[in-house]
Homo-oligomer: A and B are copies of this chain.
């Protein structure tokens, strides 16, 4: 594994700074609560603001930085992917899906509001995510904006995130093998993480070769992240994670811990994190934070 040149402290500081920028972008890009539909906007803002590690946003911002992209443009795309991610969490938490009452340490959206409002809030968050990408302020070149819309749709649609959630629901109580779980996880969480890295490269008008390396980084990072999530669900504690722990096993969910066992799952996560960092070799020191992020992803406690 490549030596990590950035201390965890430096990474965490950078993530915190990026999260602050993105929080402010989210606040101004989310709709304002006005009109008779105010409750809907309140639920959207509740679901998005003030929570989460903002991993996807950080990926957009850091990859964009590799290509010297204007930070305001990058923050818009980062905010967009966090809205898309928040929509998926709101819908996944619904009673007919994963039925989770807790998210990011507070009541999930349908508990704080109600089911109908949560469904609509998720819907409107998805809409707003695509809208932001198409807005002229996101990139001066409309070709790049269309490319962002296409990449996000591919990552989140029927053969992406939504498809992954479908497989996850169907897999409950079933016995999936390792390749099946790998594909499930690639769709359910991997693709959106991969997209987040790719989006930074699209914004930066990266060359084809550069983009392929960034995508490969995002793909391996996403896979490592999800296995680490499975491990945390087994080993973590609710105060750190801010969501229900041990639910995967209780619900008979298909996880890498279930198919590989805890130790081999940890090895696999470490291997993928190292592989992710390896794709960045040609970017030199500028990519140190992204390399550190790969390691952090599998070592985090929440």
Write the residues of chain A forming the contact surface with B, with a CB cutoff of 8 angstroms: 31, 35-37, 39-41, 44, 87, 91, 94, 96-97, 114-117, 119-120, 122-124, 126-128, 130-131, 133-136, 141-143, 145-146, 149-150, 153-154, 156-160, 162-167, 169-171, 180, 183-184, 187
- Closest Cβ of chain B: how far from A203's Cβ, in Å? 15
CB-based nearest B residue for A139: B146
Which B residues are in CB contact (< 8 Å) with A94? 116, 119
Q: Which residues of B contact A142 (CB under 8 A)?
A: 141-143, 145-146
Q: How many copies does the complex hold?
A: 2
A150 contacts B131, C-beta separation under 8 Å: yes
Nearest B residue to A40, CB-CB? B166
CB distance from A166 to the nearest CB of B (A): 4
* Cβ contact of A119, chosen from B97, B128, B156, B170, cutoff 8 A: B97
- Check if B166 sits within 8 Å of A153, measured CB to CB: no
* Residue among B123, B156, B162 making CB contact with A91, cutoff 8 Å: B123
What are 21 A-B pairs with beta-carbon distances under 8 A? A31-B157, A31-B158, A37-B163, A37-B166, A41-B158, A44-B158, A91-B120, A96-B115, A97-B119, A116-B169, A122-B123, A124-B158, A127-B162, A128-B157, A130-B149, A131-B153, A134-B134, A134-B146, A135-B150, A142-B146, A145-B146
A44 to B166, CA, bound (A): 12
| Closest Cβ–Cβ distance, residue A109 to chain B (whole Å) | 13
Output the nearest chain B residue to A176 by Cβ-Cβ distance. Answer: B36
Given contacts A37-B164, A40-B163, contact A134 B122 (CB under 8 A): no
- In the assembled complex, the CB of A43 is this many whole angstroms from the nearest CB of chain B, namely 9
Q: Which residues of B contact A97 (CB under 8 A)?
A: 116, 119
Task: Collect the chain B residues with CB atoms within 8 Å of residue A153's CB.
Answer: 127-128, 130-131, 134
| Closest Cβ neighbor of A97 among chain B residues | B116
* Distance to closest chain B CB from A184 (angstroms): 7
Q: A-B pairs with the 6 shortest C-beta distances? A: A37-B163, A131-B153, A96-B115, A134-B149, A40-B166, A127-B157
- The docked-state distance in angstroms from the alpha carbon of A270 to that of B122 is 37
Bound form: Cα–Cα A142–B133 in Å: 13
Residues of B within 8 A of A120 (CB): 91, 162, 165-166, 169
**Complex alpha-carbon distance, A122 and B126, angstroms:** 11
Q: Given A31-B158, A134-B150, 16 other A-B contacts at CB below 8 A?
A: A35-B163, A35-B183, A36-B183, A37-B162, A37-B187, A41-B158, A41-B163, A96-B115, A123-B162, A127-B153, A127-B157, A127-B160, A127-B162, A130-B153, A134-B134, A134-B146
